[in-house]
Amino acid sequence: MRIALISDLHGNEVALQAVFADLGRVGVDQLICLGDVATLGPRPNAVLAMLRERGCPCILGNHDEFLLDPGLIRAYTEAPIVVESVDWCRAQLSPAELDFVATFQRGLRLDLGGGDALLLFHGSPLSHMQDLLATTPPAELDRLLGPHTATVMACGHTHIQMLRQHRGMLLVNPGSVGMPFREYVHGQAPRLMAHAEYAILEAGPSGISVNLRRIPLDKRQLRDAAAASAIPLRPMLVAEYT
């Protein structure tokens, strides 16, 4: 079984097209999205349509829930540019598109066979606003994982690729398709990288493996897509891809 894990697409159609093209070359059995699909990027409608066309199961990220509950973002950030960009995204979406976002699941558990399981969530199993990092102390990680266990746990949210062993479990973050960060920013302004990140989990008789992948992107395409959008984050995105 080969499972592609994507996360934090953030309305970046250029990046998602590149990932789908790579998936067509390498081949997978299943595609799963770990959340934060439409906000903060220039092409939210196109990204949602691409996921729907593939029948991709999606986990509910914090930014996905911000679209459904406008007041919730204040519990996460007061940064005006972020709030305005989420509001802009919501205004672009049709009732049918918002209904699709409302189908996203808070978590998902998959049987990998042989007694192994994959647990999927956005931030932590307890909250889609919590961060799991390679540098999180083990005791703090125990608290954030709570009672949940699985052979492999996969999350997004931080925009930082990660593969870590904890108490015998593998913790995976596929990184961000649409906004990969150079470093963990903890609410500060990020520096973006011009590639798309995702992961492939392979499980079978020979064991389990995780492949973290990075697909190079054309900066001009990224810049042109941002420049053509009315999203409030447009100046920042154009500057990052110049």
Residue whose C-alpha is closest to residue 9's, from 83, 74, 89: 89
Q: How far is the C-alpha of 46 from the C-alpha of 42, rounded, in Å?
A: 9
Point out the least confidently predicted range of 3-7, 132-136, 186-190: 186-190
Whether the predicted model's global pTM rises above the 0.85 cut: yes
Does 241 have pLDDT greater than 90?
Answer: yes
pLDDT of 186:
82
Residue with tokens 């059995």, as numbered in its chain: 29
Average pLDDT over residues 151-180: 98
Average pLDDT over residues 38-55: 98
Amino acid 203 reads A
pLDDT of 181:
98
Q: Mean pLDDT score of the chain, rounded to an integer? A: 97
In the chain, where the domains are located: 2-217
Question: Contact, 172 vs 201, CB < 8 A?
Answer: yes
pLDDT of 189:
86
What percent of the chain has a predicted confidence (pLDDT) above 70?
100
pLDDT of 114:
92
Q: How far is the C-alpha of 242 from the C-alpha of 238, rounded, in Å?
A: 6
- At 188, the pLDDT band (50, 70, 90 cuts) reads confident
Element (H, E) at 109: strand 108-113
Q: How far is the C-alpha of 203 from the C-alpha of 209, rounded, in Å?
A: 7
* Assigned CATH for 2-217: 3.60.21.10
Average pLDDT over residues 76-95: 96
Residue with tokens 């919501």, as numbered in its chain: 90
Up-side HSE of residue 240: CA atoms within 13 Å toward CB?
Answer: 21
Contacts for 112 with CB less than 8 Å, ≥ 6 apart: 1, 118, 151, 152, 203, 208
Tokens of 26: 């390498």
pLDDT of 48:
98
Residue-wise pLDDT for 193-230, tens only, equals 999 999 999 999 999 999 999 999 999 999 999 999 99
Tokens of 121: 């969530």
Q: How far is the C-alpha of 94 from the C-alpha of 100, rounded, in Å?
A: 10
Average pLDDT over residues 62-72: 97
